[in-house]
Amino acid sequence: MADKDKLIKVAKELNELYKRKKAALPYSINVIRELHANENANSRVLRGLLQYSHNGQYPILQSFIERLRTIADCPIDISVQNPVLTNEQDNRIDLLIKEIKSYAIIVENKIWGATDQEEQIERYIDYVIDLGIPKRGIFVVYLTLDGNKKVTDESLTDKAKKHLGCSNKSNGRFIRMNFKDDIMPWLDTLLDLEEIRKEPLLSSSITLYVDFLKEYFDAREEDIKIENELEKQLMDTLQANSLKELLNTWEEVDKLQEIVSSAANKKIERISKQKICNALEKKGYHIRAYDFRYDYFDLEVDIPEWEKCWWAMESDKGRLFSGVWRYPEKTVAKKYIAMLNDVFDNSDDGYIGWNWHKDYELNDEFWIDIETHSRKFVNFVVNEIERVRKETKGIKL
């Protein structure tokens, strides 16, 4: 490896430059980010925008349908008259746009990569068919973060594919869409619509939502400008002019990062075992498993009165959630799973009930707090476990 001291010095200089540039930007707060929007929140934002009407017209919904036409493998013959838009009300569909006896657009929102449920899309299609909507008027939009997540055959079954006219050569009325390449650019175009420019609260809401997405995808103009300045500073400092020199530096930085991350993760594991696991065991809880790393958190606790499940707290993309995890080889009666809807906001095949914890994200601040002020977090875990135990009393888990 090249001079490690030089690489560390360059890293510190670039980090200080980055902090100065960010601090010099105009103050910005995005309430969507601060509220830790999940799939449901993003679906509600979309519904709020799409249901906007002006003089009996639905310009945003019309624009959305036009966007679908540019993506779909099928003709989309939809005439918008009196649409009804719902979130989680119709058979728990994330976003449903429908006009009875005419059409239905089922939006399955997977922005944060939630697991596909068994026969999920098939169930949604059966539901809207029962409403009296013809099969040829049913469209399913599978909406992901960046297009990398693919729908599973367990969700998009052969029966669902047949209903949607899918084949080996065509996706039929199953439409793949994502926030990065479709929703974000589409939202930008809405700000050019005359009707929307005349609605200050609506236009500001769209601007805020676009800003939220651009921040997530590192697509803000000011952030791109800062990245370009950092790149120039790096090149000037290292005097790496050829591709070979840059690739060598990349390899050296990767090795250094590997060493530092390994040391940090070992430290995190030792601290968390002592500050979290030992503290919980002293309070009478039995820890069945744990895994603590900078970018991953897993804590599993046995609940004495449960025979088929255990309580678990885990992370997904740096965000903490907790709930009831079912033993894979055991079955919980559907009536008991249904009762968990009063305890938790979400469910899937593994976690039969779970909630996000918006006040906790895996980052530097989180792990430093665990090292220095762990009592608050341990108390939070205890309170959540006891809340769940109390609210599931009588439910055979």
Residue 245 lies in a domain: no
Do 297 and 381 touch, CB atoms closer than 8 A? no
Name the band, by pLDDT with cuts 50, 70 and 90, for residue 1. very low
Give the model's pLDDT for residue 215: 81
Cβ-proximal residues to 50 (8 Å cutoff; 6+ apart), any chain: 58, 60, 61, 64, 85, 97
Same domain, residue pair 178 and 317? no
Q: Give the integer Cα–Cα distance in Å for 147 and 175.
A: 11
Cβ-proximal residues to 113 (8 Å cutoff; 6+ apart), any chain: 144, 145, 149, 316, 317
Residue 26 has pLDDT above 70, yes or no: no
Please report the beta strands in the chain, taking only residues with DSSP state E, as ranges in sequence order: 84-86, 95-99, 103-110, 138-144, 174-178, 286-293, 296-302, 309-316, 319-326, 351-361
Q: Which amino acid is at 118?
A: E
Give the model's pLDDT for residue 27: 60
Q: Which residue reads 């205890």 in tokens? A: 382
Residue of 136, 137, 108 lying closest to 123 (CA atoms): 108
Same domain, residue pair 272 and 372? yes
Same domain, residue pair 172 and 270? no
Q: What is the dihedral of CA 296, 302, 305, 307, to 10 degrees?
A: 90
Query: Would you state the structure tokens that stand for residue 229, as one six-digit string?
Result: 């300045």
Same domain, residue pair 182 and 281? no
Give the model's pLDDT for residue 4: 67
Residue 18 has pLDDT above 70, yes or no: no
What is the average pLDDT across 192-208? 88
Same domain, residue pair 184 and 271? no
Q: Which amino acid is at 338?
A: A
Residue 129 lies in a domain: yes
pLDDT tens string 256-266: 888 889 999 99
25 vs 46 pLDDT, higher one:
46
Query: Would you state the structure tokens that stand for residue 239, as one six-digit string?
Result: 């005097």
Q: Where among 198, 221, 245 does a domain terminate? A: 198
Q: Which amino acid is at 1?
A: M
Same domain, residue pair 46 and 174? yes
Same domain, residue pair 42 and 189? yes
Same domain, residue pair 182 and 65? yes
Residue 110 lies in a domain: yes
Query: Would you state the structure tokens that stand for residue 16, as one six-digit string?
Result: 């200080």
Q: Give the integer Cα–Cα distance in Å for 197 and 150.
A: 36
| Angle subtended at Cα 129 by Cα 179 and Cα 76, rounded to the nearest 5 degrees | 50
Q: What is the mean pLDDT of the chain?
A: 88
Q: What percent of the chain has pLDDT over 70?
A: 95
Same domain, residue pair 61 and 192? yes
Considering its fold, how many domains does the chain have in total?
2
> 150: helix, coil or strand?
coil
Same domain, residue pair 50 and 173? yes
pLDDT tens string 83-113: 999 998 888 899 999 999 999 999 999 987 7
Same domain, residue pair 47 and 185? yes
Q: Where among 156, 179, 198 does a domain terminate? A: 198
Q: Where among 171, 198, 225 does a domain terminate? A: 198
Residue 282 lies in a domain: yes
Residue 30 lies in a domain: no
Q: Give the integer Cα–Cα distance in Å for 46 and 206.
A: 10
For residue 137, the enclosing domain spans 37-198
Residue 211 lies in a domain: no
Residue 25 lies in a domain: no
Do 68 and 76 touch, CB atoms closer than 8 A? yes
Residue 4 lies in a domain: no
Query: Would you state the structure tokens that stand for residue 241, as one six-digit string?
Result: 């002019």
